[in-house]
Amino acid sequence: MTFVAKPRVHHPQLPLNDLGLNRRDYEGAVSTLCAGCGHDSVSAAIVQACAELSLPPHRFAKVSGIGCSSKTPSYFLNASHGFNAVHGRMPSVATGANLANRELHCIGVSGDGDSASIGIGQFAHIVRRRINMLYIVDNNGTYGLTKGQFSATNDKGSTSKKGAPNLYEPIDLVSMALQIGASFVARSFSGDKQQLVPLLKGALLHRGFAFIDVISPCVAFNNHNGSTKSYDYVRGRGASVVTADFLPKDFIATAAETVVDYAPGTTETVALPDGSRLRLSKLDESYDPHDRAHALAHVLEAQQRGEVVTGLLYVDPDASDCHEILDTVETPLNALGEAELCPGQGALDRINAGLR
């Protein structure tokens, strides 16, 4: 908790984006999370990404479940719509919101408890359905809000603050998302905005279901020596396979940019729907971020070696999303008239006749 209100004044040279807004216009209320919580850095990264992309800060649907992580939509994009669902049920609300109004950018923030324990059923199905949204899990390996029980993503053998070991195998949400059809899958770390912000930008502009597992340390209950989700542990083991650089629509390589010395065959650009691009640079030439099976194998192997694979693991820019699959109407439901929404007895009769 912080009691000093964050002043509205800002740095005199704070840049304005294409909408004439500065980064501070994308903030939310001052966080009530513990000081030093990784989740606050994720919120700050979302603020930065949205501001730099010049997305209208009032055109978002923010959805979440229950947990410290699920509280964070209050701390960014104050001007937007939000819904705080019951524990583990954010996917249902996100599905409804996105089907009802496809023009809003949809951001879901959940926790490892919210998505991998109570909400794992809902998680699996929203991935399958490829709802057009950015789904973030602030993964701290613990139930932060209820004071530090092991969550389902906690690694076997890692210990509680008091030293008790976790006896169960972890669920890896990245592997699940890869397996059941997410078209943008990444892992990052709350303490590395240089990596996280471009990933968020790519995910926000990606059409389809974009999933980012952000390791986000819980300073209060899971930042000790026996933890595999602590600042120190992740900093020591994190290995980025594919780094993404966001290239805006009007990006023209400057002299300095073109000189960057990438080994041959290790960079490529991926087009995003609005005309901007993601430049991917691979640390390992043989890694293919468009091959699901390959990505999955890489993640599993690294996990067995005790490494934390981060970066953009898989992307399919051409994959279909829920609207294409279901052939939904282009116009948001709130912009349709009564005649289109309630076409009347005649239309119903025709449908019924088609089923006879």
Ligand X SMILES: Cc1ncc(C[n+]2csc(CCOP(=O)(O)OP(=O)(O)O)c2C)c(N)n1
Q: How far is the CB of 323 from another protein (least distance, A)?
A: 35
- DSSP for 66-118? SSHHHHGGGGB-TTSEEEE-STT-HHHHHHHHHHH-TTSEEEEEEEHHHHHTT
- Given another protein, Mg ion, ligand X, none, residue 219, with its beta carbon under 5 to 8 Å by kind, binds another protein
- Subset of residues 95 to 124 that bind Mg ion, contact rule: CB under 5 A: 111-113
Which residue in the set 31, 72, 122, 140 belongs to the binding site for Mg ion (CB under 5 A)?
A: 140
Considering only 41, 74, 132, 140, the residue that binds ligand X (CB under 6 A) is 140
| Beta strands 267-271 and 277-282, pairing class | antiparallel
- For the bound state, the minimum distance from the C-beta of residue 90 to ligand X, rounded and expressed in Å, comes to 10
Count how many residues are written for the chain.
356
**Binding of ligand X at residue 144 (CB under 6 A)?**
yes
- Cβ-based nearer residue to ligand X, 27 or 114: 114
In the chain, the amino acid numbered 163 is G
Dihedrals phi, psi of 46, to nearest 5 degrees: -65, -45
d(CA 286, CA 308): 18
Nearer to ligand X, 138 or 245 (CB): 138
What are the distances in angstroms from CA 126 to CA 51, 108, 311, 321? 27, 11, 22, 11
For residues 290 to 319, the per-residue mask of contacts with ligand X, x marking binding by CB under 6 A and - elsewhere, is ------------------------------
Instruction: Work out which of 25, 114, 192, 316 binds ligand X, going by CB under 6 A.
Output: 114
Q: What is the CA radius of gyration of the chain?
A: 21
Q: Where are the beta strands (DSSP E) in 157-307?
A: 184-189, 209-215, 238-247, 267-271, 277-282
Nearer to Mg ion, 216 or 243 (CB): 216
Query: Least distance (Å) from Mg ion to the CB of residue 91?
Result: 17
The count of residues interacting with ligand X (CB under 6 A) is 18
Q: Is 57 in the site for ligand X (CB under 6 A)?
A: no
Q: How many CB atoms lie within 10 A of CB 138?
A: 32
* Beta bridge partner(s), residue 108: 63, 135
Least CB distance to another protein at residue 96 (A): 32
Nearest to 67 by CA among 110, 101, 99, 35: 110
Decide whether 71 or 105 has the Cβ nearer to Mg ion: 71
Tokens of 8: 């509205």
Site string for ligand X, 10-29 (x = CB under 6 A): --------------------
Helices (H) and strands (E) in the chain, counts: 13, 12
Q: Site residues (CB under 8 A) for another protein?
A: 1-14, 24, 30-31, 34-38, 40-41, 43-44, 190-191, 193, 217, 219, 223, 231-232, 235
Binding of residue 111 to ligand X (CB under 6 A): yes
d(CA 126, CA 94): 9
DSSP reduced 3-state for 270: strand
Of positions 2, 32, 146, 225, contacts ligand X by CB under 6 A: 146
Residues within window 191-250 making contact with ligand X, judged by CB under 6 A: none
Binding residue count for Mg ion, defined by CB under 5 A? 5
CB of 113 to another protein, least distance (A): 21
Task: Answer for the pair 177, 191: CB distance below 8 angstroms, yes or no.
Answer: no
**Site residues (CB under 5 A) for Mg ion?**
111-113, 140, 144
What residues make contact with ligand X under the rule CB under 6 A?
66-69, 87, 111-114, 118, 138, 140, 142-146, 151
